Every structure is written in structure tokens, then in C-alpha cells.
Structure 1
């Protein structure tokens, strides 16, 4: 029996939090931009911190598990 919860959460968050795909925080002239398909070092850092926080909440605090087999 395999636990796929952390894998599914990580993939979904990675897709949603890719800088510039849906949202970019901070943007190149504003605080936030939607769907601009650009990125910067600052936005990569901010998105990494947000990703780490959310993955920690979902896998450790909430203990999300998806079992197969």
C-alpha cells in the first residue's frame, strides 16, 4: 500500500505555484501580476517560500494521505 498524498500535493502545488504561470509575486512593476509568463529571482524566492509553507501544512499538519493498492 503506497501513500500518494504528498506526491499529489507536491505536483499540484508545483504546477499552481510556478512563477508567471498563473500569478507572479512580486511582479516587474507591480506587487502582483496574473499570467504574464515572466519570472525573476525575487519571485522565485517568494514562490519557493509559499510552496514550502503549503507543502508543510498539507503533509505534516493536516496529514493528507491517499493510499493505493
Structure 2
């Protein structure tokens, strides 16, 4: 049986934390901008740190597993 939990969590977090798609932290004129479709180097760094923290929590601390087949 294959464990699809890490794949699903990583894909969902990647889509949700893409800078500029849903939100940008920090934004150009504000702390957070929603749906701006703009990004910067600092926003990429912040989103990468958030991605790493959340994927660590979901996969290691909580231990999400999805078995298929």
C-alpha cells in the first residue's frame, strides 16, 4: 500500500501558499495583500518558511497518512 498523505499535503500547501495567488505576506503597501498576483523576494522567503513549518507540523507532528489501494 502506498502512503499518499505526504503527497496530498505537500500539493495542497504548495497551491495555497504560492505567493500572490491567494495572499502575499508581506504585500507591497500593506502587511498582507489578497489576490494581488504580485510577489517579491521577501514574500517568497516568508511563504517558503511558512510552507516548511506547516508541512513539518502536518507530516511529522500530526502524522497524516492516506493509504490507497
Which category of TM-score, normalised to the shorter sequence, fits these structures? over 0.9
**Paired residue secondary structure (2:47):** helix
Number of residue pairs matched? 69
How many angstroms apart in 1 are the aligned matches of 2:34 and 2:15? 15
Q: Compute the TM-score of the two structures, normalised by the length of structure 2.
A: 0.98
Structure 1: runs of 5 or more not aligned:
none
Q: CA RMSD in A?
A: 0.4
Is 2:22 the counterpart of 1:22?
yes
What are the superposed Cα offsets for residues 23-62 of structure 1, whole Å, 9 maximum, x if unpaired? 0000111110000000000000000000000000000000
Deviation of the 1:17 alpha carbon: 0.3
Whole-angstrom CA distance in 2 between matches of 1:22 and 1:29 = 16
What TM-score, normalized by structure 1, do the two folds share? Answer: 0.98
Give the gaps of 5 or more residues in structure 2.
Answer: none
Segments ≥4 residues shifted beyond 6 Å = none
